[in-house]
């Protein structure tokens, strides 16, 4: 069963490539545009702990 | 000198003149070393996105991906492109932790997460060698391509391209690179899109094109390329390319160049969205090229010759000129970024470490000289490339991912990790990854990246545990 001459497994690979590429754009659109959550310009607090020095 | 097609040559020359003009414009906008290194950290979302997209698509990917489809079909979408896109997705999520740290380069990040300033030149040296080798290979690929298309001597083409991209990069640093990328990214996407549409229509539509490809060899439409790859091998290659997105010097420099975290996130997100569609289009263009060349009875001498053969032997001159512009864009947008990154690595990660009190004028002078010297040496080597450099180039993705990926990013999100343990893991991962790549046959089905990344994880766990227990085994 092919569509546009491509077998399902190739459709899946191309679909995964596009989905992976669009993850960031979709996340930004949903979280920061639609839900209006501000992009934090500060380091996340859990990363602010003093770093273990050698 | 015999010129194959005067229209192709005219497009080539006109293109070089335009990017040089942009270089002169950028020179007037470059006022200090931060402008030269990271655009004064003022790059907005449109420019940053276009620049990242243009930098991402190299000559190697345009020529190499089409050549790869000519040999093994659409498998490259699984083992290489999916890994790159997943890498961009991951970069989007870590950018919020990297950009606020105010690090300019990847060695800065290594020094920050380990707390060991001496790790900057060590990481810088690895990235300098890796970046310089990439530069040489880009120039070799560009020279072979332009020479084949236009019928002009290879050495002359490399020298001309080398002089032009060194000139505009040294003039304006990242300001030049970003503005030329804006032009190059737009040209490249439009040109590949136009060529794909022309080819698909010419071959009777997408269904006819793919059916013709399957008729040549059914394995062309198989992600495993008819048994050439295993799923484990594909996972290893994906991991290698995934890791390079997070560990390459120029990616960190671009994040540093954006004006805030919001812009950094937007530019990675936008680039991922555009590039995923672009690469699917490029793979389909590879399929169209394969069918067209077989139908026309054209047999390129080597796989990388498939795209040049399409330009010179199949498409009309008008489409050929469009493709030449796209290819030149792909070549210059990547080589200028790599040259800028290697020059900055020298000045920022090596020179300023050795001379921490160096003033701004001094750093600017060293950056420009490093850009010229590294560019000229890469051009000189590319004119007569020795075999070992080509062999070493294949190790780049394995080295960067094996050495840096797990230890540096784990340390970024686990600030309590011991700094020296992280550096031990970087060393162990790099050595194990390269050793595994060299002895790949002996390891059978285990991809080199799995070995390298696995070694870095084991050594990180052991070294961190020993350091915390105060065993003194790692120089406590």
Give pLDDT tens digits for B418-465: 899 999 999 999 999 988 888 775 545 568 889 999 999 999 999 998
State mean pLDDT over B255-264: 96
Q: For A49, which residue in chain B has the nearest alpha carbon? A: B415
Give CA–CA dist B8/B427, Å, rounded. Answer: 47
- Among residues 108-127 of chain B, which lie with CB inside 8 Å of chain A? 112-116
Cβ contact (<8 Å) for A16 and B82? yes
From CA B243, how far away is CA B231, in angstroms rounded? 18
DSSP summary character for residue A6: B
Indicate the Cα dihedral angle B382, B383, B385, B389, nearest 10°: -10
Are the beta carbons of A24 and B272 separated by less than 8 Å? yes
How far apart are alpha carbons B405 and B422 in whole angstroms?
11
Tell me the mean pLDDT in the region B271-284: 96
Please tell me the distance in Å from A29's CA to the nearest CA on chain B.
10
Residue B17: CA count within 13 A, CB half-sphere: 6
A8 contacts chain B (CB < 8 A): no
Please answer yes or no on whether A52 and B222 come within 8 Å at the CB atom: no
Chain B CB within 8 Å of residue A31 CB: no
Q: How many Å apart are CA B139 and CA B379, to the nearest integer?
A: 7
pLDDT of residue B393: 58
Contact B206, B200 (CB under 8 A): yes
List of chain B residues whose C-beta atoms are within 8 Å of the C-beta of residue A10: 74, 77, 221-223
Q: Of A4, A39, A54, which is closest to B418 when you measure between CB atoms?
A: A54
- A45 neighbors B110 (Cβ within 8 angstroms): no
**B105 token code pair:** 């380069």
Dist CA B104 CA B127 (whole Å)? 14
pLDDT of B470 above 70: no
* pLDDT-based confidence at residue B330 (cuts at 50, 70, 90): confident
Question: Which of B65, B69, B74 is the best residue to mutate to test the A interface, defined by the most A CB atoms within 10 Å of its own CB?
Answer: B74
Residue B397 has what pLDDT? 81
- At residue B237 the predicted structure's pLDDT band, cuts being 50, 70 and 90, is confident
Q: How far is the C-alpha of B464 from the C-alpha of B457, rounded, in Å?
A: 11
Give yes or no for B280 touching A (CB within 8 A): yes
Q: Is residue B85's pLDDT more than 70?
A: yes
Q: Determine the distance in angstroms separating the CA of A30 from the nearest CA of chain B, rounded to an integer.
A: 12
Q: Write out the two tokens for B242.
A: 């995934």
* Residue B473: band (very low, low, confident or very high) from pLDDT cuts 50, 70, 90: very low
Say what the pLDDT of residue B245 is.
92
Q: Do B273 and A43 touch (CB under 8 A)?
A: no
Nearest to A5 among B210, B260, B280 (CB): B210
Task: Give the whole-angstrom CA distance, residue B103 versus residue B120.
Answer: 11
Q: Under an 8 A CB cutoff, do B415 and A51 touch? A: yes
Cβ contacts (< 8 Å) between A22 and chain B: which residues? 272-273, 276
As a whole number of angstroms, the distance between CA B438 and CA B312 comes to 38
User: Would you call A52 and B416 a contact, using CB atoms and an 8 Å cutoff?
Assistant: yes
Tokens of A14: 């191309």
Is this prediction's pTM over 0.80?
A: yes
Task: Say which residue the tokens 């500060």 belong to.
Answer: A42
Q: Is A11 on the interface with B (CB under 8 A)?
A: no
Tally of CA atoms within 13 A in the half-sphere of B319 that contains its CB: 18
A51 to B78: CB separation less than 8 angstroms, yes or no: no
3-state secondary structure of A3: strand
Residue of B nearest to A4 (CA): B207
Q: Which residue of chain A has the CA closest to B86? A: A20
Q: Which helix (H) or strand (E) holds A42?
A: none
Helix, strand and coil percent figures for chain B, each rounded to 5 = 85, 0, 15
Which residues, including other chains, have CB under 8 Å from residue B303's CB and lie 6 or more apart? B67, B68, B70, B71
Taking contacts as CB-CB distances below 8 angstroms, the residues of chain A near B88 are 20-21, 24
Q: Does residue A54 carry a pLDDT above 50?
A: no
């Amino acid at each position: 069963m092919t569509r546009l001459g491509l077998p399902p497994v190739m459709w899946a690979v191309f679909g995964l490539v596009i989905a992976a590429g669009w993850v960031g754009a979709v996340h930004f659109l949903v979280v920061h545009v639609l839900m209006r959550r501000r992009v934090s310009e500060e380091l996340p607090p859990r990363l602010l702990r003093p770093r273990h020095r050698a | 000198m015999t010129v194959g097609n005067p229209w192709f040559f005219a497009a080539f020359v006109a293109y070089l003149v335009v990017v040089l003009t942009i270089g002169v414009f950028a020179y007037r906008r470059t006022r200090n070393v931060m402008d030269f290194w990271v655009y004064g950290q003022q790059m907005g979302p449109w420019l940053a996105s276009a620049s990242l997209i243009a930098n991402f698509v190299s000559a190697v990917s345009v020529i190499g991906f089409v050549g790869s489809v000519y040999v093994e079909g659409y498998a490259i979408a699984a083992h290489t492109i999916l890994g790159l896109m997943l890498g961009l997705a991951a970069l989007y999520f870590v950018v919020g932790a990297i950009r606020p740290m105010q690090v300019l380069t990847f060695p800065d990040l290594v020094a920050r997460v380990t707390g060991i300033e001496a790790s900057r030149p060590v990481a810088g040296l690895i990235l300098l060698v890796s970046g310089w080798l990439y530069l040489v290979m880009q120039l070799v690929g560009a020279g072979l391509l332009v020479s084949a298309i236009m019928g002009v001597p290879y050495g002359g083409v490399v020298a001309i391209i080398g002089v032009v991209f060194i000139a505009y990069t040294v003039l304006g640093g990242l300001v030049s690179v970003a503005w030329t990328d804006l032009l190059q990214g737009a040209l490249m996407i439009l040109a590949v899109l136009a060529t794909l549409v022309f080819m698909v229509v010419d071959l009777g539509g997408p269904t006819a094109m793919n059916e013709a490809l399957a008729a040549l060899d059914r394995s062309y439409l198989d992600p495993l390329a008819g048994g050439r790859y295993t799923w484990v091998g594909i996972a290893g290659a994906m991991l290698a390319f995934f890791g390079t997105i997070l560990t390459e010097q120029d990616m960190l420099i671009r994040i540093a160049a954006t004006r805030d975290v919001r812009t950094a996130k937007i530019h990675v997100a936008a680039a991922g969205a555009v590039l995923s569609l672009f690469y699917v289009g490029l793979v389909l263009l590879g399929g169209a090229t394969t069918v067209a060349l077989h139908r026309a009875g054209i047999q390129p001498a080597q796989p990388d010759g498939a795209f040049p053969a399409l330009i010179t032997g199949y498409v009309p001159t008008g489409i050929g000129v469009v493709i030449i512009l796209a290819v030149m864009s792909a070549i210059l947008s990547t080589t200028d970024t790599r040259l800028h990154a290697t020059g900055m690595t020298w000045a920022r990660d090596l020179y300023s470490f050795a001379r921490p009190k160096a003033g701004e004028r001094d750093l600017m002078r060293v950056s420009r000289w490093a850009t010229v010297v590294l560019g000229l040496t890469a051009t000189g080597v590319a004119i007569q490339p020795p075999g070992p450099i080509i062999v070493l180039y294949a190790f780049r993705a394995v080295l960067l991912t094996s050495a840096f990926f797990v230890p540096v990013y784990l340390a970024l999100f686990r600030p309590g990790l011991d700094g020296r343990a992280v550096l031990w893991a970087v060393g162990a991962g790099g050595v194990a990854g390269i050793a595994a790549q060299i002895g790949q046959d002996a390891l059978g089905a285990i991809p080199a990246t799995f070995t390298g990344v696995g070694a870095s994880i084991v050594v990180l766990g052991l070294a961190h545990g020993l350091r915390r227990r105060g065993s003194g085994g790692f120089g406590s």
